[in-house]
Amino acid sequence: MRFLLALPDLRKIKVPKDGRRHRLRRALQLATSLLLLAAPFLGLLRVDLLDRKLVVFGARFAFSEFAILYAVLIVSMFVLFMGALIHGRLWCGWMCPQTTLSELTGFFQRKFLKGRTPKNSGKLLAHAATIAVAMLVAASLVSYFLAPSQYSSPPLAAWVLWGIASTLLSADLLVVRHRFCVGICPYGILQGVVQDPNTLGVVFDLQRANACIDCSACVRSCPTGFDIRGGSFDMKCISCGDCADSCDKVLNAKGVEGLIAFRFGQPTQTKRSFLARLGIIDGKRLLTVAVASIAITVVVGLFLTRAPISIKIASQFEQTESSADGLVTNHYSLSIRSHLEHAVSFEVEASGLDGLEVLAPVGPVSIAAGADAKFELLLRAPHGPVGGADIQVTVHVEEQGDFVVPVKFFFPSAPTESAESVGNQATFPPEQGRT
């Protein structure tokens, strides 16, 4: 099983610190790590479990907004598939937090165990540093599901989630590390399924294999202990490119070009087109890019056309009241969903019938930022012909204008003698059906 893979000793990995790919990879890892750590705090991405909302680039989407959430899911799937098909495991070696944290663990091992006596003290320091990093990352991970403002409400939930995440991450970094990349990661497995000989990868030049001096520098620098000379596109290769830097360092000193490089397939003697150099060289890739582009366009369109305020009114005719003084009261459920980042107030008016008035809600009512609120809407009018009448409910929202919602106002049959007081339940004639 790949999960039981024997990893090389972290202290003995020869990291090519001066390699141009390695320096670029470290810079990208740092930028990606800072972005992922800050994303939930900046509102770039968060799933608020308590509020049941998805936050994407500051915009808040309720879980009930299926169209947008489904579109986001579809786009994510196509982007992941496109990345795996065209660029292989470039994400794994250059941006994935699992790789970054695993290599940081190796740095602690080399830093604290080098020349230290006794060895146990060095291990203690290395493990303590690893656990501290795990706890820091766990705090950010919890913030993806629980807004920082909700840490104290309820406080126990935040502490429990943080404790669980810290424990799992500590175990991952101290024991699992790159085993996760090789045998557990679902995205890594997907990459192994969809990649083909034209997928970007770290490739050993088989045409010049005789130039290899068998120094094994490539193997000593690999975090998973993989020998790239035995073949490319193996699950043990995470496309970090450290082996290429190590090979360049050894062979360039002898005036020979390195044998390992990032390529879309094996090197060829013929001149390749621009699209070929980008990895877009067949119908399968073009179709994937086209579908992903369309999906992204649809999601952006949904974002841009999404109304800041959505209002729904549902009738509750079973609660219609008819009083002896000739007045009828209809009950409605008024739902207002705010996508704004600040509180707003609203007022309700109704028109379409003589004497129609709003009993509740009365006066300006405030809605919190990003709230999904429900109110009881009560309308009263003098009794009219049995059946339904078309009316308009106008909701005046501060800074957003008027929202007009057409609804039905139902007049029941006259109350019976035993139901003459205000608030009696209305009775509907059998032929009037309800909607």
Beta carbons within 8 Å of 36's beta carbon, 6+ residues apart: 97, 140
* pLDDT of 418 over the 50 cut: no
Q: Tell me the C-alpha distance between 424 and 418, whole Å.
A: 9
pLDDT at residue 20 in the model: 92
**Count of alpha carbons within 13 Å of 120, Cβ hemisphere only?**
0
If you count DSSP H runs as helices and E runs as strands, how many of each does the chain have, helices first?
A: 12, 14
Q: Which of 42-56, 113-127, 288-302 shows the lowest mean pLDDT across its residues?
A: 113-127
Comparing CA positions, the residue from 360, 352, 427, 355 lying closest to residue 391 is: 352
pLDDT at residue 401 in the model: 87
* pLDDT of 181 over the 60 cut: yes
Q: 130 falls in which pLDDT band (50, 70, 90)?
A: very high
Mean pLDDT taken over the chain: 83
pTM of the model: 0.72
pLDDT at residue 419 in the model: 37
Q: Tell me the C-alpha distance between 353 and 338, whole Å.
A: 29
The whole-number average pLDDT for the span 222-249 is: 89
* pLDDT of 278 over the 70 cut: no
Convert the pLDDT of each residue in 209-219 to its tens digit. 999 999 999 99
295 sits in the region (left: phi over 0; alpha: psi -120 to 50; else beta) called: alpha
Reported as type and span, the H/E element at residue 367 is strand 365-367
pLDDT at residue 118 in the model: 60
Q: 293 falls in which pLDDT band (50, 70, 90)?
A: confident
Q: Which two tokens stand for residue 433?
A: 């059906």
- Of 169 and 310, more confident: 169
* pLDDT of 236 over the 60 cut: yes
The whole-number average pLDDT for the span 278-304 is: 80
Beta bridge partners of 427: 413
* pLDDT of 189 over the 90 cut: no
Q: Give how far Cα 162 sits from Cα of 137, 155, 159, 169, 244, Å.
A: 10, 11, 5, 10, 39
Convert the pLDDT of each residue in 13-32 to its tens digit. 888 888 999 999 999 999 99
Which of helix, strand or coil describes residue 264?
Answer: strand
Q: Tell me the C-alpha distance between 379 and 392, whole Å.
A: 11
pLDDT at residue 242 in the model: 95
Q: Which two tokens stand for residue 259?
A: 């044998």
Q: 96 falls in which pLDDT band (50, 70, 90)?
A: very high
pLDDT at residue 277 in the model: 61
Q: 375 falls in which pLDDT band (50, 70, 90)?
A: very high
pLDDT at residue 426 in the model: 38
* Domains in the chain, CATH or no CATH each: 10-42+88-197 (no CATH), 309-432 (2.60.40.10)
pLDDT at residue 435 in the model: 32
* pLDDT of 117 over the 70 cut: no
**Count of alpha carbons within 13 Å of 163, Cβ hemisphere only?**
6
Which DSSP letter does residue 317 get?
G
pLDDT at residue 191 in the model: 83
